[in-house]
Amino acid sequence: MQRLLLLAALACAALFVAGFWGFAERVRQTPEPPPQAQAIVALTGGSLERLSTGVRLLEERKGERLLISGVNRIVTDGELFAALNVDPELGNCCVDLGRTADDTLGNASETAAWAREHRYRSIILVTDDYHMPRSYTELTLAIPEAEIHPYPVRTRYTDPALWRSDLSTASRLGAEYVKYLIIRGREALLDLGRSEPAADDA
């Protein structure tokens, strides 16, 4: 029995490592130019480049409006616009700052409320490359009626030369992979629960 448990544990560990390796390789992709969309959302919490990229896409008119989700409540609009070099006229007309989100799930909820208020069905999502799978999954679950176009921002953490040799970087990616797996597991359980009544009715 102990031998079977050991073999099962080794198999699970091998599957986890293989899955993590594929995850780390997959997130290190050069983003395709985003299509024209109705709106853009940039998530706070990582590099400032997430937000500056969202502003750039707005300036390029890839969307008519930008939401910056998860802004710290003590940061004023003017301070953030100055840090991002946002033209005040553009900021006043076309940039919304969301301050209710504290995590990725909150980002998705905040974005969903904003998108439905403006009736947006096509959104460009901007966040760090390693954060994109989880953010994209949460956002598509929160707004199933909308088309989400991922536009990841390249970070040093997904550089294979770094995460394969630096334990702290590998741990950071590993933690993100675990969070992503938790989301997928949560949704699988919810889907199972939703399918049970249909099976009972049949």
**Is the CATH number 3.40.50.300 carried by domain 28-158?**
no
Could you state, in chain order, the average pLDDT of each consecutive group of 10 residues for the chain (202 residues)? 71 80 87 93 90 96 96 92 92 94 95 97 96 95 95 93 91 92 80 59 49
Cβ count within 10 A of residue 93: 10
With beta carbons less than 8 A apart as the criterion, state whether 154 and 129 touch.
yes
Q: Would you state the pLDDT for residue 193?
A: 64
Tokens at 92, concatenated:
């006043």
With beta carbons less than 8 A apart as the criterion, state whether 55 and 83 touch.
no
Q: Would you state the pLDDT for residue 194?
A: 62
Q: Would you state the pLDDT for residue 162?
A: 92
CA 158, distance to chain mean position in Å, is 15
What distance in Å separates the CA atoms of residue 177 and residue 65, rounded to the nearest whole number? 31
Cα separation values, 51 from 8, 118, 146, 184, 193, Å: 44, 21, 21, 27, 38
Residue 47: Cβ-neighbour burial (10 angstroms; 0-12, 13-18, 19+): middle
Q: Which residues, at least 6 apart from 189, have a Cβ–Cβ distance to it below 8 Å?
A: none
Task: Break the chain into its structural domains and give their ranges.
Answer: 28-158
Q: Would you state the pLDDT for residue 35?
A: 93
Q: Would you state the pLDDT for residue 123?
A: 98
Q: Would you state the pLDDT for residue 54?
A: 97
Which of the 8 DSSP states describes residue 38?
S
